[in-house]
Amino acid sequence: MKKYIILPLLFALFAGIGCTDLDEELYESIPADQYPENEGQIASLSVDAYSKLKDLIDDQGYWYLAQIITGDGYCAPTRDTDWDDGGKWRVLHQHTWSNDVDAVNNMWSNLYDGVTRSNQVIDRLKTFEQTDDVKKVIAEVETMRAFYYYLLMDNYGDIPYLTSAKDAPEQPFKISREDVFNNLVTELEANVSLLEASDKKYLANQYMAYMLLAKLYLNAEVYTGTPQWQEASDALDEVLAGPYAMATDLMSPFATQNENSSEIIFSIPFDEDTYQGFRLHMRSLHYLHNKTFGMAVGPWNGFAATPMQFDLYEENDLRKTSWMIWGPQYTQGGEPLIDDDNPGWTGDEPFYSELDDDKQVYILPKLQNLWMTTDVDGYAYVKFGGARMKKFEIANGAKESLSNDFPLFRITDAKLMKAETQIRLGNPGDGDDLINEIRDRAGVDDIIGASLDDLLDERGRELWLEGHRRQDLIRFGEFEKQWWEKEAKVGVSTFPIPKWASDANPNLLEEPK
């Protein structure tokens, strides 16, 4: 059972980088001007800076969905009359979004809420005597603010950069992506020595900060035009020297009870009852898979792996068999899972020999296309096409929200990042040892002389559905190219600023100041 500290909001929301209603509220029975009274209360002020992490993963915040659906490994196909949703999923996968779609709107709002809550906490802390304890908490909250700004800069490019809520202009201007990058690096490097050197996975500690620095440096060429591979490598050395290790079991970092995983550096502590918001299984599993997993609710039969992702794995790769669902499906008791609404299979490739007799659910490993109708290659492709997700354990009796912690940073990612810097600073093959440590666990042969293309493929296999693919494809120059159901599309490596935000603040349409 996970435990949480829940505090009242420190201030009113700073919605849309525009409103500045910063009236303070009371902390239960203690007036705000008398709070905090001790070191524990000072430390607890940082909690609100973490509060918007929960919304990153689902459609309240949309960051995660925008990363996985825009990539080449996962998609949300239209299934007959289901899942079209006005085309909001299709435009993400095909990179044809506008400045007024859910992903663009909600991600901006959620991430800036995270920035603003962090700024409000920092403003409050700066009113206290600047003891070592206060400075430590300020460094922690500034690191969380840097995390939100990193995601904003990564997704939107040039953005407003504010370090105070009380002094914030009502209509701020943007600064350049490069200036945001430089500010974040400077701040993180100044704060990292003040942070706790621990393995607490819900805390912005030293290792989380070094991992964040490594992410910034690894993508520096995208953000600033100048690569910083050595700086990324140096930051990763600090992470790899930390208290983390790859688990023997490749399912361990994604288990329901993964809060003590040796691989996780920084995570979101989801709980099906008390900290909800992780519903990837609901979006992925077939309608009847509740009978497979003993679920109290029926899933929504939506998201699926792209054909490219399915083929990226070798047949004997344990990640493929452990993390994907395809083939004939069964109830928890081992009986065939029957779909009485299935009219039969009319496609060309083999389906399932007894389908017409007992209508057993058979998940086809590949999708035909992104928008399927009943008259395209048979009804079965519509309803059953595409391998589904089980990378994040779907525990017996799972509810609409999973209790699995979501790993934002993981040591296996750090190893692959280090391998990338070694190849970029040296030659193909220089990252082989790190890559093969990961491949060995997956039960596939070692790779000899790994190139950057090999490294990108390995990242696609290992980090599937962890929210890194969009960024990886951009860094490797692949994001704007053609794939599967997406045509080549230039100039889409960032999202536009939401229309509602620029309507409220026309300065957001101006060039960076």
Q: pLDDT, tens digit, for every residue of 454-481?
A: 999 999 999 999 999 999 999 999 999 9
| 27-40: average pLDDT | 53
Tokens representing 489 are 């599309």
pLDDT number for residue 25: 43
The neighbour count for residue 220, using CB atoms within 10 Å, is: 21
Q: How far is 327 from 374, CA to CA, in rounded Å?
A: 21
pLDDT number for residue 375: 60
3-state class (DSSP) for residue 456: helix
pLDDT level of residue 341 (50, 70, 90 thresholds): confident
pLDDT number for residue 33: 53
pLDDT number for residue 20: 33
Q: How far is 67 from 449, CA to CA, in rounded Å?
A: 29
| 77-90: average pLDDT | 92
What is the residue-averaged pLDDT of the chain?
90
pLDDT of 119 strictly over 60: yes
Are 52 and 117 contacting, i.e. CB atoms less than 8 angstroms apart?
Answer: yes
Q: How far is 253 from 256, CA to CA, in rounded Å?
A: 9
| 289-316: average pLDDT | 97
pLDDT number for residue 345: 53
pLDDT of 122 strictly over 70: yes
pLDDT number for residue 228: 98
The neighbour count for residue 239, using CB atoms within 10 Å, is: 25
pLDDT of 492 strictly over 70: yes
Q: Please name every residue paired with 328 in a beta bridge, in sequence order, or none if there are none.
A: 362
pLDDT number for residue 357: 52
Better-predicted residue by pLDDT, 362 or 120: 120
pLDDT tens sequence across 401-430? 999 999 999 999 999 999 999 999 999 999
User: Exposed, middle or buried by CB within 10 Å (0-12, 13-18, 19+), for 3?
Assistant: exposed
Q: How far is 111 from 92, CA to CA, in rounded Å?
A: 19
pLDDT number for residue 360: 83
Tell me the pairing of strands 371-372 and 78-79: parallel
Q: How far is 286 from 175, CA to CA, in rounded Å?
A: 45
Tokens representing 283 are 């979006």
| 44-61: average pLDDT | 94
Task: Give the CA angle between residues 191, 192, 193 to the nearest 5°.
Answer: 95
pLDDT of 230 strictly over 50: yes
Full-model pTM: 0.92
pLDDT number for residue 10: 32
pLDDT level of residue 81 (50, 70, 90 thresholds): confident
pLDDT of 332 strictly over 50: yes
| 190-219: average pLDDT | 98
pLDDT number for residue 370: 87
Strand ranges for 169-279 from DSSP E: 264-268
| 163-174: average pLDDT | 94
Are 119 and 17 contacting, i.e. CB atoms less than 8 angstroms apart?
Answer: no
**3-state SS track over 59-116:** CCCCHHHHHHHCCCCEECCEECCECCHHHHHHHHHHCCCCCCCHHHHHHHHHHHHHHH
Q: Please name every residue paired with 409 in a beta bridge, in sequence order, or none if there are none.
A: 266
| 249-261: average pLDDT | 97
3-state class (DSSP) for residue 267: strand
Q: How far is 390 from 193, CA to CA, in rounded Å?
A: 39
> Which residues have C-beta within 8 Å of that of residue 54, sequence separation ≥ 6?
268, 270, 275, 276, 277
Q: How far is 46 from 137, CA to CA, in rounded Å?
A: 7
pLDDT level of residue 123 (50, 70, 90 thresholds): very high
Q: Lowest mean pLDDT: which of 5-9, 241-245, 331-335?
A: 5-9
| 203-222: average pLDDT | 98
User: Exposed, middle or buried by CB within 10 Å (0-12, 13-18, 19+), for 238?
Assistant: middle
Report all structural domains of the chain as residue ranges with CATH numbers, in order of start: 1-195+480-513 (1.25.40.390), 280-389 (no CATH)
Instruction: Give the amino acid at 45.
Output: L
pLDDT level of residue 26 (50, 70, 90 thresholds): very low
Classify the C-alpha dihedral 286-289-293-294 as positive or negative. positive
Are 372 and 77 contacting, i.e. CB atoms less than 8 angstroms apart?
Answer: yes
pLDDT number for residue 21: 36
